[in-house]
Amino acid sequence: MRINPLLLLLLIALIGWGAVQVRSQDYPAHGLPVQEEPHQDNFDAQQSPVAIKDGYAITPLATFRIKALTLSEKHYKVDREADLSPVDLALGWGPMSDPANLDHMDISQSRRWYYWEYKDGSKFNFNPRHIHRYSANMHMIPADRDVAATLDRVRKNDIVEIEGYLVRINHQSDNFYWNSSMTRNDTGDGSCEVVYVKQIRIIR
């Protein structure tokens, strides 16, 4: 039986496309460095500030717990937000903790943003929606000196466990405010989590 070469090529292409779709959209939980989803419990009513620091009121919006792979870390000293948050962590979980995906990506941070790009362009077909869904740039506000010291030691490829609050920041003397994202599905301006870190542990 002879097979048309064009038909054979089409069949191979469809099989390959199907494999990519399965890999990017139907991830098994087992085998990933970080399997857990971030956990968040929103407060039903307005909370009192958990801290007042240099005139900044830090008000909790939700309890927050995350285990994640550190995709990148960036320290800040000169912007106003550095009064509270000396470090941002770009964190990934689920498929965004998978080296098979991360090996194809360049990840960086600048000006309180997190950036990614493919190393090999169209050859890598990981769904961008999964990148947005399973990773985030998070502004870390240490609750005390011990937490600050641990945050300062976090480096790329560390797996961390963090507990604390998603918060809203207001300054008492001007119109400065800083609000946390409350979902893992948003993108663009305002999509970063502002995390008041009560506990942090570097697992590896």
What residues does each domain of the chain span?
A: 31-202
DSSP letters spanning 87-130: EEEEEE-GGGG-HHHHTTEEEEEETTEEEEEESSGGG----HHH
User: Which DSSP symbol is given to 37?
Assistant: P
H-only helix segments in the chain: 5-25, 99-102, 128-133, 145-153
Q: What is residue 128's predicted lDDT score, i.e. its pLDDT?
A: 87
Give the tens place of pLDDT for each residue, 37-92.
999 999 999 999 999 998 999 999 999 999 999 999 999 999 999 999 999 999 99
Distance, in Å, from the CA atom of 10 to the CA atom of 162, rounded to the nearest integer, reads 48
pLDDT of residue 122: 64
Q: Which two three-digit tokens encode residue 204?
A: 């590896």
